[in-house]
């Protein structure tokens, strides 16, 4: 390859190679979409740091971030924002923009020398840095070397009541982003590949192929885009090198940002993708037609939120219940919930919605269990066809907000429109009614 004459500061060479992308079947807390397969990537350059708010604002003239600070990573940027930033910074620095947006398509010019997002394969290859385990470090991230929900290190779920067997002990939960480069770099010289903010990739979300590939560009079609690495509020299990998160390309979050790459050498050809997948995400979701409030609740917090929503909307209320209910004992239900998540179980439901086709909008409620959805929610989402419907999530949580629950819903209902979610700390307290009202208005859901 040819060394770039005008390589920007803080970009490092990631030498290409072949690796096993995905995770082995015995990796703890793996997801079914991480099928291991052989992948080859060419040389490329990657920024050592996530894009800062100062860098973003200097190019775009605005700062959308939830947490503010010049050296903090920019976040609350959509995939479309990230693509626009790549092009604008390329033009500002005299590089050829990589992306062209035209109607409902986006085209990536592989030969352009401008800034771009890494492919999912490039991101995982760079993160792994030649390693094969769940993380590039010997054991797993700790609160001392990574900004994440430090109280929940890797495999805490199996050792919650007896932590002597944990390789990494629970630590600090900072509840905010931190300045980029605050911890030691990876073997490839990259900072914050785990935690702080997740990072958008080029790829549309879809199943992996099983054949060997070189420099893949992801699924040809898909309604979501992949982001990687986990953020400040993620459990360690959802920061694994192989973990795949997905979100609609026009939505942002306070734990998703940007890391830039540059070609090592000019590529060949163009890659064209849909901007809105099947078209369902092309417009803002609107709550037209009948609304259903469907919820699963164990301790009562989610039920209370659902009842407040029902009182403000008059919508029908449906409780998701199990043929074999979880234990009423707190310690026991933790073990049962962990078991079902580890096994990606689909517990049998005792309650069913008659004529789901009559509902246009489903307000879907659940407690954030171990940074994801309870498995009864997965059973519910797989029971019905949500194509073209709007799913608007709400959850109760103890500090982790949504965790990776939105990704879980997005993967299980890929043809649904995702509304803006509401996360409520435990039962919501005195502001619950006000918070629910604002959320309903945000999602264009009528009050009664």
Confidence (pLDDT) at 287: 47
Residue 276 has pLDDT above 70, yes or no: no
Confidence (pLDDT) at 447: 77
Residue 338 has pLDDT above 70, yes or no: yes
Q: What is the mean pLDDT of residues 393-401?
A: 91
Q: What are phi and psi of 357, to 5 degrees?
A: -60, -20
Residues 6+ apart with CB under 8 A from 402: 368, 393, 395, 421, 423
Q: How many CB atoms lie within 10 A of CB 434?
A: 10
Q: What is the mean pLDDT of residues 340-345?
A: 87
What pLDDT band is residue 170 in, cutting at 50, 70 and 90?
very high
As beta bridge partners, residue 397 has: 425
pLDDT digits (tens, 9 = 90+) for 104-140: 889 999 999 999 999 999 999 999 999 999 999 989 9
Q: What is the mean pLDDT of residues 211-236?
A: 91
Encoded tokens for 258: 């940007």
What pLDDT band is residue 1 in, cutting at 50, 70 and 90?
very low
* Highest averaged pLDDT of the listed ranges 91-100, 261-270, 278-287: 91-100
Residue 284 has pLDDT above 70, yes or no: no
Q: What is the mean pLDDT of residues 418-434?
A: 95
Classify the C-alpha dihedral 31-33-35-37 as positive or negative: negative
As beta bridge partners, residue 225 has: 204, 247
Q: What is the mean pLDDT of residues 393-407?
A: 90
Q: What is the mean pLDDT of residues 143-158?
A: 93
Q: What is the mean pLDDT of residues 273-290?
A: 56
Residue 236 has pLDDT above 50, yes or no: yes
Confidence (pLDDT) at 273: 84
- Please state, rounded to an integer, the average pLDDT across all residues of the chain: 92
Q: What are phi and psi of 172, to 5 degrees?
A: -70, 140
Q: What is the mean pLDDT of residues 83-110?
A: 95
**Higher local confidence (pLDDT), 157 or 372:** 372
Residue 361 has pLDDT above 60, yes or no: yes
Q: What is the mean pLDDT of residues 374-378?
A: 97
Q: Show the 3-state SS of the chain.
A: CCCCCCCCCCEEEECCEEEEECCCCCCCCCCCCCCCEEEEECCEEEECCCCEHHHHHHHHCCCCCCCCCCCCECCCCCHHHHHHHHHHHHHHCCCCCCEEEECCEEEEECCCCCCECCCHHHHHHHHHCCCCCCCCCCCCCCCCCCCCECCCCCCCHHHCCCHHHCCCCCCCECCCCCCCCCCCCCCCCCCCCCCCCEEEEEEECCCCCCCCEECCCCECCCCCEEEECCCCCCCHHHHCCCCCEEECCCCCCCCEECCCEEECCCCCCEEEEECCCCCHHHCCCCCCCEEEEEECCCCCHHHHHHHHHHHHHCCEEEECCECCCCCCCHHHHHHHHHHHHHCCCCCCECCCCCCHHHEEEEEEEEECECCECCHHHHHHHHHCCCCCCEEEEEEEECCCCCCCHHHHHHHHCCCCEECCCEEEECCCHHHHHHHHHHHHHHCCCCCC
Q: What is the mean pLDDT of residues 3-31?
A: 91
Confidence (pLDDT) at 165: 83
**Higher local confidence (pLDDT), 4 or 97:** 97
pLDDT digits (tens, 9 = 90+) for 292-312: 999 999 999 999 999 999 999
Confidence (pLDDT) at 277: 46
Confidence (pLDDT) at 439: 97
Residue 288 has pLDDT above 60, yes or no: no
Domains of the chain and CATH, by start? 11-280 (3.90.1580.10), 283-442 (3.40.50.360)
Q: What is the mean pLDDT of residues 403-410?
A: 90
Q: What is the pTM of this model?
A: 0.88
Residue 141 has pLDDT above 50, yes or no: yes
- C-alpha–C-alpha distance, residues 315 and 311, integer Å: 8
Residue 346 has pLDDT above 90, yes or no: yes
Confidence (pLDDT) at 388: 92
Residues 6+ apart with CB under 8 A from 395: 302, 365, 366, 367, 368, 402, 405, 421, 422, 423, 424
């Amino acid at each position: 390859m040819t060394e770039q004459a005008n390589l920007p500061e803080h970009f490092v060479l990631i030498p290409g190679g072949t690796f096993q992308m995905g995770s082995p079947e015995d990796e703890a807390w793996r997801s079914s979409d991480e099928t291991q397969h052989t992948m080859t990537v060419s040389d490329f350059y990657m920024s050592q740091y996530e894009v800062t708010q100062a860098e973003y604002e200097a190019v775009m003239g605005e700062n959308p971030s939830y947490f503010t600070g010049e050296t903090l990573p920019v976040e609350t940027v959509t995939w479309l924002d990230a693509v626009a930033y790549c092009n604008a910074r390329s033009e500002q620095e005299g590089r050829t923009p990589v992306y062209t947006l035209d109607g409902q398509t986006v085209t990536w010019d592989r030969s352009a020398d401008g800034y771009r997002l890494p492919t999912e394969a490039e991101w995982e290859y760079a993160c792994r840095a030649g390693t094969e385990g769940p993380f590039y470090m010997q054991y797993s991230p700790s609160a001392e070397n990574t900004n994440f929900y430090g109280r929940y290190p890797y495999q805490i779920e199996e050792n919650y009541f007896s932590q002597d067997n944990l390789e990494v002990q629970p630590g600090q939960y900072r509840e905010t982003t931190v300045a980029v480069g605050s911890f030691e770099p990876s073997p490839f010289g990259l900072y914050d590949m785990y935690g702080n903010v997740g990072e958008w990739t080029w790829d549309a979300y879809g199943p992996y192929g099983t054949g060997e590939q070189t420099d893949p560009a992801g699924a040809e079609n898909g309604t979501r885009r992949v982001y990687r690495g986990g953020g400040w509020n993620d459990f360690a299990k959802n920061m694994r090198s192989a973990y795949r998160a997905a979100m609609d390309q026009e939505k942002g979050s306070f734990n998703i940002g940007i890391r830039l790459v540059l070609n090592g050498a000019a590529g060949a050809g163009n890659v064209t993708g849909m901007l809105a997948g099947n078209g369902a995400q092309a417009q803002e979701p609107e709550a037209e037609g009948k609304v259903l409030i469907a919820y699963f609740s164990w301790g009562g917090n989610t039920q209370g939120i659902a009842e407040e929503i029902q009182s403000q909307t008059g919508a029908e209320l449906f409780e998701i219940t199990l043929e074999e209910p979880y234990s009423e004992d707190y310690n026991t239900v933790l073990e049962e919930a962990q078991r079902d998540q580890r096994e990606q179980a689909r517990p049998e439901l005792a309650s069913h919605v008659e004529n789901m086709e009559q509902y246009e909008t489903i307000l879907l409620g659940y407690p954030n269990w171990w940074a994801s959805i309870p498995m009864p929610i997965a059973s519910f989402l797989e029971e019905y066809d949500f194509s073209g419907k709007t799913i608007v999530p709400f959850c109760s949580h103890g500090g982790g907000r949504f965790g990776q629950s939105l990704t879980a819903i997005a993967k299980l209902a890929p043809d649904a429109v995702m509304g803006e979610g509401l996360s409520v700390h435990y039962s919501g307290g005195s502001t619950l009614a006000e918070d629910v009202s604002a959320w309903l208005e945000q999602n264009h859901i009528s009050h009664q």
